[in-house]
Chains A and B, each alone.
Chain A
Amino acid sequence: MTAPRATGVPILRLGDVLITGLLNELDDQSAVAFTDELTERIAGDGARGVLIDISRLEIIDSFVARTLMELTTMARLLGARVIVAGMRPAVAITLVELGLQLTGVETALNAEQGLTAFGWHRMPRPAGEARRDAPR
């Protein structure tokens, strides 16, 4: 197995959840390398959830949108649920006007709410509660 190219983007592990974030200055090659690295980690760590913080992204163009959608699909195939957290208002408006909806990608207002959706609480929560899904 070849080691994925290091991208400098940290991927933290919290139980069975991986936490990472996208940087604004992500170029195409790094995005591809990041996708490789993250999928390796999901498989290797047996992660059930992935939280991607995008609050630093000043724009999302169709390339970044595609990266996020591919990541979500790949993670789902590997048995992990992806939540994208912290999209800026201006970015959300632009994405919608651009005609992109990040189909199938779950979203959360910020990292904390994303983690809440993954079941990280200070108090135990009842099992089987419904979760809120992203736009279809």
Chain B
Amino acid sequence: MNTSESSVRDRLCEALREREEEIADRWVRLQLEQAVLSTDMSEHEVREEADLLISALAAGLASDVPVERLVTSRNELRQTVIELSLRRARAGASPTATSLAVLSLKEALLSAVQHTTRDSGELYSTAILVNRLLDAAGVLSFETYVEGREEIIQRQSRQLLEVSTPVVRLWRHVLAVPLIGTLDTARTQVVMESLLQAIQDNEAQVAIIDITGVPAVDTAVAQHLMHTVNAVRLMGADCVISGIRPPIAQTIAQLGIDLSTILTRATLADALAAAIRLTDQPAVGQDAGTAGSVTA
């Protein structure tokens, strides 16, 4: 760090400390003016963020970390930027708005420094320094924003998965889960989890997996079906797969997928008939005499 840079840095640091209020006010105003805020964030929240970020910046500038690396290597500063960006991502702000929010701090900072010096050379150096400092923050903010949105999308798709896999009770000790759409790993996990829990809760003996709504069965989907069936069997229940349409039967045969250990039926009605026979077999005595004692 050369002397001129360090003096500029000191000056900036000083301005941050002494004019903290003013910078924060201006930054909040700029953000409000640019209408970069979504309705979910109050002015109060933005002000709080501003205070946090400014004090983190001041602390960072006081250290001897190079200014370009300040935002990424100072933990406090880094987290403040990340939280600020995530909050906007969650509140549904646009990526442009989120980046602008960070970058408009440049203007607020520079106008504060303007009060401390009239030397244009010094002002120029300060502008460069502020740029280098906050461009890193802009990049980090954008990166975080994207990750934050990814996370939201993922969470939503998981919630969608959960609501789209209802487990229904069709008969005493018989459950069914109608699958609609592609069966991938994530979906298989959700199906397994809700099906197995329902088996335990209902003391179900047979689970019917209806794949009428599954567009195609390839080796991966077959593998996922086998996993589900195996998990059901480990629980001590039986599994019937129904809704295998003719084209799907053809694909299964052509691909040489072995589903021979699994009981399959063409329709849900056939599967239910098979399931009732299965539950009747080991439970003849119960059905004849002591039905009342069995959990219904």
Contact = CB atoms under 8 A, between A and B. Distances in A.
Are A and B associated in one complex?
A: yes
Contacts of B200: 88-89, 109
Interface in A88-110: 88-93, 95-97, 101-102, 107-110
Interface in B180-195: 189, 192-193
Interface string B217-241: 0000000000101111111111000
Chain B interface helix/strand/loop/mixed: helix
A77 to B, nearest CB: 23
B227 A132 contact: no
B278 interface: yes
Chain A interface helix/strand/loop/mixed: loop
Nearest to B295: A112
Interface residues of B, number: 33
Nearest to A97: B227
Contacts, number: 93
Interface stretch (A3-11, A12-20, A29-37, A113-121): A113-121
Contacts of A114: 236
A132 B281 contact: yes
A97 B121 CA distance: 66
Interface stretch (B54-62, B134-142, B265-273, B285-293): B285-293
Nearest to A109: B236
Contact of A124 (B189, B203, B285): B285
B284 interface: yes
A131 B282 contact: yes
A92 B196 contact: yes
A82 interface: no
B57 to A, nearest CB: 46
A90 B200 CA distance: 11
Nearest to A124: B285
B7 interface: no
B236 A87 contact: yes
B197 interface: yes
Contacts of B231: 89, 92-93, 95-96
Given A93-B193, A135-B261, A136-B261, A123 B289 contact: yes
Contacts of B98: none
Given A96-B234, A129-B281, A89 B197 contact: yes
18 contacts: A87-B235, A88-B200, A89-B199, A90-B193, A92-B232, A93-B231, A96-B230, A107-B234, A109-B203, A109-B235, A113-B203, A113-B205, A122-B286, A123-B289, A125-B285, A129-B282, A131-B282, A136-B261
Given A89-B200, A132-B281, 4 more contacts: A96-B230, A109-B203, A116-B283, A129-B284
Interface of A: 85-93, 95-97, 101-102, 107-110, 113-114, 116-117, 121-126, 129-132, 134-136
